[in-house]
Structure 1
Amino acid sequence: MEFSPTALVIIGLLLAAWMVAAAWMMISAASKARRAEGSKKAARRMARMIDEAPAIPLLVRTDGRIEGSDRLAGWLGLDSLPEYLSELDGGVQRENGRGLSAEQLAELSENVLRAQKTAAPFRMALTPPGSQRSLAVRGVLADPQVSPGGAALVWIFDFSESESELSRLREEAARAKGDFGALVGIIEAAPMPMWFRGPDAKLQLVNKAYVEAIGAADADSAVAEQLELIESVDGLSAAQIAAQAFDKKLPIERIVATTVNDQRRAMRVSDLPLGKEGVAGYAVDIEEMEEQSREFRAFRDAQRSMLDQLSIGVGQFDADRKLTFANQPFRRTFALNSGAVSQNLGFEQLLQNARENGRTPEVRDFPEWRSEHADWFASGETQEEAWPLSDGTHLRIVAQPMPDGGLVIVAEDRTEQLALSATRDTLLRTRTATFDSLFEALAVFAPDGHLQLWNRSFAGTWGLDPEQLDAHPAAPELLELIAPNLEKPKQAKLIGEVIRAATLDRKEEAGRIALADGRTLEFAGVPLPDGNGLLTVLDVTANEQAETALRERNKALEAADEVKTRFLSNMSYEFRTPLTSIGGFAELLQSGVAGDLSEQGEEYVAAILDSVSRLTEQVENVLDLSQSEAGLLPLNKKRLDLLSFVTDVVREREAAISAGGITLDLRGNKASGKFEADPRQLGRAIGQLLDNAVAATPSGGKILVDLSKSKGVVQIVISDNGAGMSEHELKQLMQGEQSAKRQGLGIPLAQQMIESHGGTLELVSEKGAGTSAIIRLP
C-alpha cells in the first residue's frame, strides 16, 4: 500500500507531534519525579527534624484518634503510641507504672476537648508515674491545612533538665531567702553597730545596735536623717571614707574615738565595699581592749623598770628568738652594748658574741652546744644550768619557755655566793676550832632547849662524861646530870632559868654557882642572832681568890689615899703659914718697923724675900702637882678668848724677857676662838713653859709664841732657840728632874694641867737647835 506524499507528510507531522508530545511528557514526568523526590526528601528531613526537636507534636482528632511519633511513647514509658488518646494511660501496661495516670489523662483530655471546641490554647505539666521525666504540654487548635475538621495540635516538651535546674534554683532561692532572713536577724541582733551604704555613700540600712548607739527613735528615722555614728576625723566624714573604699574597691579599717550612749569609746571601724551594691560597715567596741592594752603596757613598763632594779640579769626573747628586753645586769653579764635590744639581736648570735667575750663555758663543740641551747624555745620545761667561766665567774642560768613561744633567760652571778659559802665553811671550821681552844666552857642551845653545840671544856667544867652530851640532851635532862656535881643540887634550876632567858626571852642573864669539889663557876646566857642561846661558863675559882686579895689591897690603898689627902691638906697649911710669916716679918724689917737696917741687913732681908718667893712658888707647884696626881685639883672653868689670854700671860713676863735681852714674837689672830678653861691653871701651865723658854734662851735669843686653829683643834707653840736638850735630858725633864736652865717640876705640872683640860703637851728638842713645846686643846 502506497501512501501519498501528503499522507506521508501528515504521518510525518503526526509522528513528529507524537514525538514532541512524548518528549514533553517524559520531561514533565522527570520534573515531577524530581519534585516528588525533593518533597519526599523534605518530608523525611522534616520528620527527622521533628524527631530530633525538643518538642514532639501530637495531633488529636475529634474522634479521639491520635497521630504522633513513637518517641513520645518512650517519653510516656509505652512500647508504642496507641491509636486513641484515651489509651495513653497504658492500658494493660498501667500495672507496670507506664503511661499517664488517670488524673493526668483526664486533665489532658479535658484540655484537648476545650481546645477543639473553643480554639483556646492550654498549658500543663505532666510527670508520668514512676518516671523522673517532666513534660510540658502546650495545646492549640490545629491549622486546617494540617488537619481539617477541628483537630487539636498538642506540643509536648521534655524539660526534665530545666525542671531539675529550676527545682535546684528554687531550693537555692528558698535557702538563700532563709539565709538572708537569718543574716538580717543576726545583723539586727548583733551587739555591734552595723550599717549599709549605697553607691552614693548614704545610709540605707542600720541595725538595732546602731540605733541605740546614736540614740535615734528607730532605724527608719536614722536612715532618713542620715545620722552618723562615727565622727569626722581629719576633716573626713564617715560617708567620705566609705566613698573612698567604694571607689578603690578596698576595705578600710581604722580606730577612732566616738560617743556611744553618752560615753567616749574607742571603736575599730571597718568599711567593706560590696561590689556595685554599696559599702557595708561595722564598728567593734575595743575600749576594754584598749584599756587592757594600756594596762598591759603599763604593767610591762613597770615590770621592766622593776627588772632593771634587780641585781640578777633578765633577758626576754620573742617567738622569733629576737632579744626584746635585757636589764642592765643581763647586758653586763653577757657584755652586750646598749643597742642590743633595738638591734633585735638573735639568741644564737647572742651566744656567739658571749663566747667571743668569754661569757660562756668552754665546750669542745660549740655549734652543737649552741644548737642544743636553741632548743630551749621548744622545750616545755624550765631549764637550769651552771656556767663556770674562764675568769672564775660562776653563772646560774635559768631558761623559762613562755606560752607565746618566747623565752626568758635569768642569769645570776653566784661567784660571791660560792665564795661566801666557802667562807662560811671556813668560818664554821674556825668556829669549831675556836670553841675547842677556848678556856671558857661554851654550849649553844636551840629555842626548844636541846643542846646543839659545845666545846671540849664544857663537859669537864661541869664534871660530866663527854659521851653523855653526844645524844644532844634537852636542858632539863642536862640539869639532871649536872645537879649531883653541885654543892647545892637545887641551884641547878638557876642554870635552867639562864638558858630559858637566853633562848626564849632573848635576855642576857648571869649567875655564879659553887661545885661540890670546891670550884666556883660563873655562867651567863647570851641570845644569839639566829634564835639560839649561848651558855658560857668560866671557872673563876682563882679569880675569886685574887679578887679577895685585891679587895683587901684596895682597902689598904683607900686608907693610904685618905692619909695622903689629909697630908696634902695639912702640908698646904703647914708650908704656906711659915712662909707667909717669914715673908711678912721680912717685909716689916725692910719697911723699917724695927728700925733702920744697915746696908748689909737690907741685902739679907732682900735675899730672904727672894727665897721666900721662890720657895712659895715651889710649894705651890708641889701641892698642885700632888693634888693633880690625886685627882683633887679643882678647876673653875670660864670662857676665855685665847689670844687675849695668852697675851696677858706673856705680858706678865715682859720684865723678865726684857731683862734677859730676849726677843719674843707673839703670833695669832681672833680665828683661834674661845675655849672653856680654868684661867689660873691653864695660865700657870703656859707660864711654866714660857718661864722655861726664857730661862733656856741666852741674851739676844728669840722666843716664838704661835696660836693657830685647824679642824677644831687649837694649837699653842712655844719655841726658843736656846741650847736645846738631848733625848736623855728631855726624858729626865719630863720625869721632874731639874736641869741647869729648866725647872723639871714645872714641866710635869704643866702637862697634867693641860691634860686636865682635855689637851696634850708635846716637847720637841734638839741639842744646839732649841726646844719647842706644843699644846693642843680640843
Structure 2
Amino acid sequence: MTGQRHARRQRRRGPRAMILTPLTALPFAAPALAAEPAMTPLADPVRLALVVLVAGLVLCLAITAWFHRAMRNRWRERMRAMEHALRHARLANAQADVFMASEPQALVSWPTPDGEPMVESDGQFTALNTPPGRILAFGSWLGPADAQAMDQALARLRDTGAPLSLTLRAGDRFISAEGRIVAGAPSLRLREITGERDARARLEDQLAATESELGAVRDMLDEIPQPVWVRDRDERLVWANAAYVRAVEATDVAAVTRDALELLDQTSRAEARRQRAQGAPWQARIPAVIAGDRRIMEIVETPGVSGSAGIATDVSELARLRDDFARQTEAHARTLDQLPTGVAIFDASRKLIFHNAAYRLLWTLDQDWLESGPSDGDILERLRVWRRLPEEADFREWKARILASYTAVESHEHWWHLPDGRTIRVVINPNPQGGVTYLYDDVSERFQLESRYNGLLGVQGETLDTLREGVAVFGPDGRLRLSNPAFASLWRIPREVVSSEPHIDEVVSRARRTAGDDASWMMLRDAVVGLEDRAGGTCRMEGRADADSVLVVDCRIAPLPDGSTLITFTNVSDSVRMERALTERNEALLKASQLRDDFVHHVSYELRSPLTNIIGFVEMLGNGMIGPLNDRQREYADHILRSSTALNAIIDDILDLATIDNGELELTREPVDVRATIAAATRGVEDRLAEAAITLHVEAPSATPGFVADGKRLRQVLFNLLSNAISFSDRNRNIWLKVREDGDAIRFDVMDEGHGIPAEVLDKVFERFESHAPDARRRGVGLGLSMVRAFVELHGGRVEISSRPGVGTQVSCFFPARAPESQGAASQGPASQGPANQAPAGQAPASARPALETPHGARPSAPAPAGDAPPAPAPATGETLAKLSPD
C-alpha cells in the first residue's frame, strides 16, 4: 500500500516540474536585457520577438500543463471506474459461476453475426446425452414440433432481435429456452426445469394437451349432426355445439348460454334432474322441435363432477325404418305363409325362429311346439321317430352332415326320399347373421307329372302315327321337326327324306308332284318361313290321287308358342264327294219343305172361311133362331160346335206357328193382372174339368206383382198347359196351378197326378206334331206345348219340365218380371222349329185360344232330366184364388 501511494505521489510531481521549468529561465534573461541600457524593451524588434516567443512558450507550457493535469485526472477517474467495473465484473462472474452451477443449463452466444457460437454448459446439462457441439441441433434431442418452434424462434432472435421464451420437452424432462440481445450479441440460455418449476411445467404441458384435446373434441362435436350440451352444477348451459345452436335456432353459443335456450321441455329436464340426483344417467326417447320440425330424439344425459353433459340423437328416420322393417318383415312372413314351399329359419344357436304354414303342414308338426323355438336337432329327432325322414343306416352321421351346414359358407341341396313315397327337395342356405334357412319343396307331384308327361309323349307319338290325317311340324328355321307316317304317305315322300329333317322348300317341291296348287303351297311356305306376322289359316288343294280319282286335301295352319308351325293335311276326297251328294239332296228337301209350308199355310186360310160358316150356322141352330130343336138334335149341334171350335183353334195355332217361323209375330206388351189372367184361363177349361171329374187348385197370392207381357198369349199358354194336364189325368184327380215370384221372374207351375212322361219321351215333347198319349182318347195333333215354349221364349222366359211315370208331371214357366229391352217383332225361337207332343184338344172359348197337348211338361232348349222324386203337389204357401171341382 505504501508503494502505491509513493507511486501516486511521483505521478503527481511530474507535471508540476514541467510547468515550473520555463519559469526558471526568467532570471537569466533579465541581466541580458539590463546590459543594453540604451535600448528600450520594445525598441528592439529582436527583443520584442524574443519576449513574445518566451511569453508564448510560457503560455503554451501553462496550457499544456493544465491539459495534462486535466487528462491525468480524467484517466485517473476512468481507471478508478474500470477498477470498480472490474471488481463488479469479477463479482458478477463469480455470481454467474455460482448461478450456472445452481442448475443444469447452457449458454450460447454469437459474438459476431457470422461467427461460430460460443457454448458454455456445465456437466449436469450435458448429462442429457447431448454434446455441447450438438446443442443447437434441436432435432436430435427435442421432438419435431418443439425443434421446429425452436429453430423458428432462434432465427427471429438472430435476424430481428425478437426475444424468445419457450418451454421445451426433451424426453421426460422440461427445458426452458430464453433468448435476447446481450451486449449487442444474441444470447440463448437453455436450462433444465426442476423442482416446483418442473412440476408446474408438467402441469402446464398437461393443461395445454388437455386444452388441445378439448378443442379437438369441441371441433369434432361441432361437426356432428347430434346436438350436444354441457351444464354446470347449477343446471345452467355453459356450452353447446353447432348442431344444438341450429336446433334451437340461435345465432351462436353465446346466445344459447346467455338466453338459456333449452332443447328439452320442462318435464324432461325435471326427469333428468331426478336421475342425476341419484347419480345415474338419464336416457329417454321423446319428441322435440328441431329447427321448427317435430322429431323423435334419443336423449342421453350423464352426470359429472362439475355438472352434466347430454347428447340428442335424431331417431325419427331410425324409428321409421324400424317400423318399415317390421312391416316388411310381417309382409314377408305373410308372403312366405302363402308359398307352397316349406320355409324354416334357425338362428346361430340352432333354434327355430320362423316357419311358414307350408312347413308345418308338410311335417304335420304342432303349432304350439314350433312356436316354443325347438332346436334343429330336436325337430330331426321327432321326425325320425315318426318315420318322416329318409331311412338311413347311420342316422347320427346323416344328422351331423345336415347340421354341418351351420358352419358352411355355400348352399347345399339334398333329396330326401321318405318312407311314405314322397320326395322332398331340401335346400339349406347359410344366413349372413348366423344360422340357416331350410327350403322344403315337395317334388313328388312333379316327378309324377314328369312320368306322366313322358308317358303322354309316348302316347301322343303313337297317336300321331295312327292318325289318318297327315301332321307336320316345321321349326322356326323352316325344317321339318315332326311328322307322322300319314304325312309321308299322303305326299309320297320317302321316310329317309322325312328323317333327314328337310326344309319346307324341299317338302313343297316333292309334294307338288301330287297336288300342284302353287298358290296354296306358297301360302304354306310363307306361314312357315315368312317374315310377316304368323297367323293360322286354312286352304284346300286338289290333285290327282291316280288316273281315275281326284285328291282333295284340307290344310290347317296353326302357329305354336315356341315359334314352330303345325300343319295338318286331311284327305277329304270321300267327304267332298259325299258333301256334294248331300248338298244336292238337301236342296231338294228344302224345296219340298217350302212347298209343304206353303200348302199348310194356304190350306189353313182356305179352311177358316167354311169353318167359320159352320160355327155360325151351328150357333144359330143352338140358339133356336131357325126353330126349336129336340134334345138329341141339341146334343148333335153341341158336338158339332165343340169340334168346329177345336178345329178353329188348331188352325189358329198353325197360323201362329207359321207367323213365328216367318218372324212376323209381334207381342202386344202391357201390364198384366196375374189373378185376372188366371181366372180367364181357368174359365176356358171349366167344362172339361167337369166332364173329367178333375179338381183344379189355383194358388195365386194377392201380393203377386203384375208384370208386362202379352196378356192374350199368356192366357193361351195357361190354357194349353191346363188342357194338357186335363187330357193326361184320370178321373177324380187333382191339378194345381200356382204362381209366385222366383228371383227376377214370375213363375207359373202346373202340376198333375197323371201317368207321367217316360224319360225317353221328354226330349220330344216340344217338337211339333208329336203326340205320345197312352191311348187314343188323349191323342192330339201335337201343337200345344210347341206354342207354349214359343210364346214363353218370345217373352224372354224359359220353360222347365219334370216328370215321373206313374206319379205326375210338373211344368214351370218363367216370365221376366221386367220387360226385355227389345219389344219389337219377335224372332223365330228354338221352340218354333219343330212339332210338339200333344194330346187331343178339348173345347175352349175362342178368346182363350185353346189347344190340345201331350203329356205335361216343357223346357227351354233341352229337356230337364226326369225328376227322380215325384212332383207331388206342394202345400199351398199362398192365397188360394179358386178351387174348381167336378161339382
Q: Into which bin does the TM-score normalised by the smaller protein fall?
A: 0.5 to 0.7
Could you tell me whether the CA contact under 8 Å between 2:737 and 2:748 is conserved in 1?
Answer: no
Which has the bigger relative contact order, CA under 8 A and spacing at least 6?
2
**Structure 2 residue 402 is matched with structure 1 residue 370:** no
Structure-2 residue corresponding to 1:431: 460
Measure, in 1, the Cα distance between the counterparts of 2:443 and 2:783. 63
Aligned 1:55-454 pairs, distance under 5 A: 123-124=102-103, 127=123, 176-177=206-207, 179-190=209-220, 191-192=223-224, 230-234=264-268, 236=270, 238=272, 241-245=275-279, 255=285, 258-263=288-293, 269-270=299-300, 277-278=305-306, 281-283=309-311, 285-287=313-315, 289-290=318-319, 292-339=321-368, 343-356=372-385, 358-447=387-476, 449-454=478-483
Amino acid at match of 2:553: L
Amino acid at match of 2:123: T
Q: Deviations over 1:118-171 (max 9, x none)?
A: x9999455536986899xxxxxxxxxxxxxxxxxxxxxxxxx999999799799
Could you tell me whether the CA contact under 8 Å between 1:315 and 1:325 is conserved in 2?
Answer: yes
Could you tell me whether the CA contact under 8 Å between 2:527 and 2:565 is conserved in 1?
Answer: no
Could you tell me whether the CA contact under 8 Å between 2:429 and 2:436 is conserved in 1?
Answer: yes
Aligned counterpart in structure 1 of residue 787 of structure 2, from 753, 756, 759: 753
3-state secondary structure, aligned to 2:212: helix
**Structure 2 residue 686 is matched with structure 1 residue 650:** no
Aligned counterpart in structure 2 of residue 491 of structure 1, from 514, 520, 523: 520
Aligned 1:526-537 pairs, distance under 5 A: 526-528=558-560, 532-537=564-569
Measure, in 2, the Cα distance between the counterparts of 1:532 and 1:279. 85
Structure-2 residue corresponding to 1:138: none
Amino acid at match of 2:787: M
Could you tell me whether the CA contact under 8 Å between 1:312 and 1:329 is conserved in 2?
Answer: yes
Measure, in 2, the Cα distance between the counterparts of 1:198 and 1:691. 114
**Structure 2 residue 857 is matched with structure 1 residue 775:** yes
3-state secondary structure, aligned to 1:380: coil
Measure, in 1, the Cα distance between the counterparts of 2:699 and 2:646. 30
Q: Deviations over 1:436-464 (max 9, x none)?
A: 33332233344554443333322222332
Amino acid at match of 1:556: A
Closer, same or farther: CA 690–282 of 1 in aligned 2, 3 Å = closer
Measure, in 1, the Cα distance between the counterparts of 2:347 and 2:434. 7
Could you tell me whether the CA contact under 8 Å between 1:205 and 1:223 is conserved in 2?
Answer: yes
Closer, same or farther: CA 519–219 of 1 in aligned 2, 3 Å = closer
Closer, same or farther: CA 233–755 of 1 in aligned 2, 3 Å = same
Q: CA deviation at 1:596?
A: 7.7
Measure, in 1, the Cα distance between the counterparts of 2:287 and 2:772. 103
Closer, same or farther: CA 367–608 of 1 in aligned 2, 3 Å = same
Structure-2 residue corresponding to 1:540: 572
Moved more, 544-553 or 207-216: 207-216
Measure, in 2, the Cα distance between the counterparts of 1:366 and 1:538. 63
Structure-2 residue corresponding to 1:692: 727
Structure-2 residue corresponding to 1:742: 777
Query: How many pairs does the alignment contain?
Result: 624
Amino acid at match of 1:390: P
3-state secondary structure, aligned to 1:435: helix
Structure-1 residue corresponding to 2:39: none
Q: CA deviation at 1:576?
A: 4.7
Closer, same or farther: CA 612–366 of 1 in aligned 2, 3 Å = same
Could you tell me whether the CA contact under 8 Å between 1:316 and 1:325 is conserved in 2?
Answer: yes
3-state secondary structure, aligned to 1:433: helix
Measure, in 1, the Cα distance between the counterparts of 2:471 and 2:229. 90
Measure, in 2, the Cα distance between the counterparts of 1:358 and 1:382. 26
Measure, in 2, the Cα distance between the counterparts of 1:777 and 1:187. 97
Closer, same or farther: CA 302–131 of 1 in aligned 2, 3 Å = same
Q: CA deviation at 1:561?
A: 1.6
Q: CA deviation at 1:520?
A: 0.1
Moved more, 161-170 or 636-645: 161-170
Structure-1 residue corresponding to 2:553: 521
Structure-2 residue corresponding to 1:512: 540
Closer, same or farther: CA 739–230 of 1 in aligned 2, 3 Å = closer
Q: CA deviation at 1:309?
A: 3.8
Q: CA deviation at 1:545?
A: 0.6
Structure-2 residue corresponding to 1:666: 697
Q: CA deviation at 1:544?
A: 0.7
| TM-score when normalising by structure 2 | 0.58
Could you tell me whether the CA contact under 8 Å between 2:520 and 2:540 is conserved in 1?
Answer: no
% identity of equivalent residues: 23
Q: Deviations over 1:33-71 (max 9, x none)?
A: xxxxxxxxxxxxxxxxxxxxxxxxxxxxxxxxxxxxxxx
Closer, same or farther: CA 643–510 of 1 in aligned 2, 3 Å = farther
Q: CA deviation at 1:337?
A: 4.4
Measure, in 1, the Cα distance between the counterparts of 2:393 and 2:790. 77
Could you tell me whether the CA contact under 8 Å between 1:395 and 1:411 is conserved in 2?
Answer: yes
Amino acid at match of 2:724: L
Measure, in 1, the Cα distance between the counterparts of 2:673 and 2:244. 94
Aligned 1:691-730 pairs, distance under 5 A: 692=727, 697=731, 701-707=732-738, 714-719=748-753
Structure-2 residue corresponding to 1:551: 583
Q: Deviations over 1:89-139 (max 9, x none)?
A: xxxxxxxxxxxxxxxxxxxx97996699xx9999455536986899xxxxx
Could you tell me whether the CA contact under 8 Å between 2:799 and 2:859 is conserved in 1?
Answer: yes
Measure, in 2, the Cα distance between the counterparts of 1:617 and 1:314. 81
Could you tell me whether the CA contact under 8 Å between 1:361 and 1:388 is conserved in 2?
Answer: yes
Structure-2 residue corresponding to 1:480: 509
Amino acid at match of 1:514: E
Q: For the aligned residues, what is the CA RMSD?
A: 5.2
Closer, same or farther: CA 361–525 of 1 in aligned 2, 3 Å = same
Segments of structure 1 that go 5 or more residues without pairing to the other structure are 1-108, 135-159
Amino acid at match of 2:454: D
Moved more, 541-550 or 358-367: 358-367
Measure, in 2, the Cα distance between the counterparts of 1:168 and 1:391. 90
Could you tell me whether the CA contact under 8 Å between 1:664 and 1:703 is conserved in 2?
Answer: yes
Structure-2 residue corresponding to 1:61: none
Q: CA deviation at 1:381?
A: 0.8
Structure-2 residue corresponding to 1:63: none
Closer, same or farther: CA 385–654 of 1 in aligned 2, 3 Å = same
Structure-1 residue corresponding to 2:10: none
| TM-score when normalising by structure 1 | 0.65
Closer, same or farther: CA 130–172 of 1 in aligned 2, 3 Å = closer
Q: Deviations over 1:657-691 (max 9, x none)?
A: 44x48253333214597676835753663464266
Q: Deviations over 1:563-594 (max 9, x none)?
A: 3223324433554555556666777889999x
